[in-house]
Amino acid sequence: MDRRKFFKVAGITSAGMLLSESFKNADNLLGVADKKGLIKPISGSWFEFQHLLASEGEYWDGDLAKFTERQWKEKIREISEIGFEYLVLQEVADKGKTYYPSELQPKYEMGCDDPLEAILSEADKVGIKFFIPNGFWDDCQRGKFLITDPDIRKLRIRGMEEFVKKYGHHKCFYGWYFPNEAYLLPYFSEEFVKYMNDCAYVAKQLTPECVNIIAPYNIKAEKCDDHFVKQLERMNIEIIAYQDGVGVNATRLGEAGRYFEALYNAHQKASRSRIWADMELFYFEDGTKGNLLPADFDARILKQMQDISPFVDKILCYQYIGCMNKPGTGAYAGNRNRESERLYRQYTNWLKKRK
């Protein structure tokens, strides 16, 4: 089950497709996963201006829509304070509107005229690295259309060009996130590989030093054989952060580790992309659907971290926004039961004990 509702991916025109230069030092790029059983802290999170599915983000979308420039900056500082180094922005556009002043589409009316500039300028100050998305430019649930439509491809490229022109000077801009996610069934579809490599080619033309990321789902279908390894070798992507699937009930607690171990071994053979985790902090209010609520750190999230830590370089989470809030923050976004503050306290207490 994909939290972003992309159940299918399909082809995109391969016109103009080229692979950028192979990595010169695959061993350094791959990194070394911690094989000593130590639990890795959370290194970053996905980040959003509004939740992609309104039915899941009712408890924080209203807050975010009213955020001022000061509040967006405070939220970035708040996230930095607990040691998060990376943020993956979910979208810069959706349903035909943008979250920044654009010449390509009309803009969502928010409490801040340019929330993208607000978060990037503050990230520059605190040292957070941002992955910037190159989508969606239409309804995010139209996954097949977003990948296959040639006009959307042109708009996606124009959007990337516009971002670089307007925001490319920010030192926090670390790389790109390609948000039309793949699923393992049990391999990546060849159409997705073409789409992803096309995005990577454009990204490298615009920003040669960029580090790019994708976050596939359905890891329990993995089949990490020679065919999968060969796919990894052909994919021009620096980081693959697999969704652990625990929050969406696709993977049982304690089960993801064995899938990550198989994926880790495949990445070692391919010597290509780094393997990270996209760990889910939430559970569904109505069991399998509805609003997202913060899970308990001690009862669940710590076990997720322990399970996957030996096999990944970094753990990112989905997500800080809505699921964690610093007590007393002036940029609160979440339900009024303050469960997000409870999760914040649990995690920061664990960090203190870990030191």
User: Does residue 247 have a pLDDT over 70?
Assistant: yes
**pTM given for the model:** 0.90
Torsion sign over Cα 343, 345, 350, 351:
positive
For residue 189 the two structure tokens come to 């579809």
The per-residue pLDDT for range 329-349, each reduced to its tens digit, is 999 999 988 999 999 999 999
Helix, strand or coil for residue 302? helix
Who contacts 62 (Cβ-Cβ below 8 Å, separation ≥6)?
Answer: none
> What is the distance, to the nearest Å, from the Cα of residue 325 to the centroid of all Cα atoms in its chain?
19
131-145: average pLDDT: 91
Torsion sign over Cα 67, 73, 78, 82:
positive
The 10 Å Cβ neighbour count of residue 156 is 26
Q: Domain ranges for the chain, please list them.
A: 38-354
Q: What Rg, from alpha-carbon coordinates, does the chain have?
A: 19
Q: What CATH superfamily classification does 38-354 receive?
A: Glycosidases (3.20.20.80)
Q: Within the chain, where are the H helices?
A: 26-30, 58-66, 69-81, 115-126, 143-148, 150-167, 190-206, 226-234, 256-270, 302-308, 339-354
- Distance, in Å, from the CA atom of 28 to the CA atom of 31, rounded to the nearest integer, reads 5
Higher per-residue confidence, 44 vs 20? 44
User: Does residue 21 have a pLDDT over 70?
Assistant: no
Torsion sign over Cα 149, 150, 153, 158:
negative
